Structure 1
Amino acid sequence: MALADDIKAEVTKIFKDQWSRRTGQVVPEPESISLSNEAVEFEQATVLYADLSGSTAMVDGKKWWFAAEVYKTFLHCAAKLVRAEGGSITSYDGDRIMGVFIGDYQCTRAARCGLKINFAVQKIVNPALAARYPDANYSAKQVVGIDVSSIRAARTGVRGGNDIVWVGRAANYAAKLTDLDLAQRTWITEAVYNRINDAAKFGGEPKENMWKKFKWSQHDDMTIYGSIWTWRL
């Protein structure tokens, strides 16, 4: 009963305590937020999720070390590119990575990052994979989801084992966009699309829109945009 009483008391405390809030200037580290009801607020932040598609089938059908190498190469590329575009890596979750972009041109930088991840998977990871394992009959494929909204960061967990939870539309929608299984590898909401500059919207010669408009049936047919394009590194 001691453990149950302890959990019950903490749950009651969390629901009862008032929240303290402060405006965020940088993406916080867990240690900078208390485990009490404290939140760091961002009026606008752009969240990117990059997810490796079909990883369950890969784990079921391939050797563990093959899957581990695919995970590591994909996550390495995604992490390097998030940081190169000025984003902060906020979590690794199995075969996915979450990045948060704040400040000027955050939507443009996040969208460009998604297109660069597509380039890295198609032009770097898969050629290296095919060269090392020519008989594997496997190609890595990813989906990136991006949204922008106001968002709050809070610290959750227990002492010695905790992390930051991001509360706001952008975190949820960006993650849900990675569930889409179409040809498009990078997905952005209309809110992101309306904020990216023309260089991140139009490519090729002559210029054409790199983003195709869709209705997101899982979310009340809201407008989203998907892209099959890559951005050369």
Structure 2
Amino acid sequence: MALTNELHAQVAAIFKETWTTRDGKVVPAPEDLKHSNDAVQFDRATVLYADLSGSTALVDTRGWQFAAEIYKAYLYCAGRLIKSHDGVITSYDGDRVMGVFIGDYQSTNAVKCALRINWAIHNVINPALKKQYDTDYVVRQVVGVDTSSIRAARTGVRGDNDIVWVGRAANYAAKLTEIKSERRTWITKDVYDRMHESARISNGQNMWNSYRWDAHDNQTIYGSTWTWSL
């Protein structure tokens, strides 16, 4: 009964309480936000989602140690590359990682990071896997990137909470990783239009092909098979 009363009271308070917002200068940690309806807002931030492909089949058909090593290798490389491109890791969710980029070069940094994650798959992870194991398994992944206004709020219960990112970029970046294609990096038109030409053109060749995203009102998106070497 006590728990029922607590749930009713807390949910009612969430819906009734007035929100307070403030402009963000850095990507916040959970402790930077109150448990009440408190949010940090960004006029624009770029979100990157890196998602390991085929993880369900991986755990269903391979030993748990093998699957765990794939997870660890992929998430380590993706996480280190996010941080090396001035991004902030905001969450690990099973087989994927989310990074948030702010600042003047946020979209360019996020896109170069995405292409370097693809490079790491081909030049670090799969070669190391083949060297260690006699296996036909090939690690594959997809990265999605979008940019928009966004807000960060604290969610969960006291002692066990995290940040929820509310805005188009967080949702679209995650949804882009669901596209089934040989293209391993997907970005929205807003990202494509904002990123520097160095992330768009290589030796006079455009690294990106445009597509219609039929799952989202046929919006224009861009996909790439290219990598960006370290």
Cα separation, 2, equivalents of 1:138 and 1:51: 17
Cα separation, 1, equivalents of 2:50 and 2:116: 11
Matches within 5 A, 1:42-81: 42-81=42-81
Cα separation, 2, equivalents of 1:6 and 1:193: 47
Equivalent residue for 1:217? 214
Q: Is 1:153 aligned to residue 170 of structure 2?
A: no
Deviation at 1:52, TM superposition (A): 0.1
**SS of match in other structure, 1:223:** strand
Residues 91-149 of structure 1: CA distance to partner in whole angstroms, max 9, x if unpaired? 00000000000001100000000000000011100000011112x21010010000000
Among 219, 222, 227, the residue aligned to 2:224 = 227
Residues 121-180 of structure 1: CA distance to partner in whole angstroms, max 9, x if unpaired? 11100000011112x210100100000000000000000100000000000000000001
Q: Is 1:96 aligned to residue 93 of structure 2?
A: no
Equivalent residue for 2:32? 32
Matches within 5 A, 1:140-219: 140-203=139-202, 205=203, 207-219=204-216
Cα separation, 2, equivalents of 1:124 and 1:190: 30
Residues 208-233 of structure 1: CA distance to partner in whole angstroms, max 9, x if unpaired? 00011000000010000000000001
Deviation at 1:5, TM superposition (A): 1.1
Cα separation, 1, equivalents of 2:133 and 2:60: 17
Cα separation, 2, equivalents of 1:34 and 1:147: 27
**SS of match in other structure, 2:194:** coil
**SS of match in other structure, 1:77:** helix
Segments ≥4 residues shifted beyond 6 Å: none
Equivalent residue for 1:137? 136
TM-score w.r.t. length of structure 1: 0.98
When the two structures are aligned, how many residues end up with a matched partner?
230
Aligned-residue Cα RMSD (Å) equals: 0.5
Share of identical aligned residues, percent?
59
One-letter amino acid of the counterpart of residue 172, structure 2:
Y
**SS of match in other structure, 1:35:** coil
Cα separation, 2, equivalents of 1:187 and 1:28: 26
Cα separation, 2, equivalents of 1:4 and 1:228: 52
TM-score w.r.t. length of structure 2: 0.99
**SS of match in other structure, 1:36:** coil
**SS of match in other structure, 2:47:** strand
Structure 2, unmatched stretches of 5+, are none
One-letter amino acid of the counterpart of residue 103, structure 1:
G
Equivalent residue for 2:86? 86
Structure 1, unmatched stretches of 5+, are none
Cα separation, 1, equivalents of 2:67 and 2:122: 17
Cα separation, 1, equivalents of 2:8 and 2:175: 31
